[in-house]
Amino acid sequence: AQTVTQSQPEMSVQEAETVTLSCTYDTSESDYYLFWYKQPPSRQMILVIRQEAYKQQNATENRFSVNFQKAAKSFSLKISDSQLGDAAMYFCAYRSANTGNQFYFGTGTSLTVIP
C-alpha cells in the first residue's frame, strides 16, 4: 500500500505571513493524484488543492500553492497571507490513477494562526 507521511504534527504562523506544510509519499506508480484537505474544528473535510502527477506545473488556488517534486516524492503546501480562518488540521492525500477510489491520507498537520 502507498504511504503518505506528514512529519510536522503542529505548525504555527503569524497572521499575514507565509507557511509551508510538508508531505512526502511512497509509491511505485507513475500516474497518480495528490491532494491537500483542510479539516476545521467543524470536522468536515474540505478540499484545498489537487495536483495531477503527470503535470509538471504546480497547482495554485488563490493563496494556496503546492511545490510538487515528483522525483523526490514530495508535495508541500504553501499558504500565503495567512488568515485566522486558515487555522485547521491539514491532511495530505494520495490516490492512484489506476485503482479508482482508494485514497491514502497522512496523519495531518495542525496549523495555528497567531493574530
Closest CA to 77 of 45, 46, 107, 38: 38
From 12-20, 67-75, 79-87, 104-112, span contacting other proteins (CB under 8 A): 104-112
Taking CB under 8 A as the criterion, the residue among 28, 41, 44, 85 binding other proteins is 44
43 binds other proteins (CB under 8 A): yes
Q: What nine digits make up the cell of 95?
A: 490516490
The residues that bridge with 24 in the sheet, in sequence order, are 5, 74
Q: How far is the CB of 29 from other proteins (least distance, A)?
A: 11
- Least spacing, CB of residue 71 vs other proteins, in Å: 21
Q: Is 56 in the site for other proteins (CB under 8 A)?
A: no
Looking from the CA of 97 toward its CB, the CA atoms found within 13 Å total 10
Closer residue to other proteins (CB): 42 or 56: 42
CA atoms within 13 A on the CB side of 12: 3
**Residue 107 interacts with other proteins (CB under 8 A)?**
yes
